[in-house]
Amino acid sequence: MTVIFKILTRNLWDEAVSRGRFDGAPVDLADGYIHFSTAEQVRETAAKHFAGQEDLLLAAFDSEAFGQPVKWEPSRGGALFPHLYASFDPACALWVEALPLGPDGQHVFPELTK
């Protein structure tokens, strides 16, 4: 199992849970796929794209459970990032945890290998 991660606002997640479907955050909709990160990439993703943002969640998923729509494509510095070319049911999350800001202004991550 390859676990991948999605950072998103609590509001977006709550809306997706109530609909039973996540179509993507605004950046995902603009790019045509849902952005995910690996455990090695997710802290940099938070620092680069979510700096200073509060009320965020970190959701973990089994990339193989998505099947064919996941493509590993080069992005930041040529690293391969998982991109999902489909919507998904939020119920398929392995877990969802708060991603609070610490006193230093950096996000405090839960254990990623749960």
d(CA 42, CA 8): 12
Domains in the chain: ranges and CATH: 3-99 (3.20.170.20)
pLDDT tens-digit series, residues 9-20: 999 999 999 999
How much is the pTM? 0.93
Which residue do the tokens 């990339």 mark? Answer: 63
pLDDT tens-digit series, residues 44-83: 999 999 999 999 999 999 999 987 889 999 987 888 999 9
pLDDT tens-digit series, residues 72-92: 999 878 889 999 999 999 999
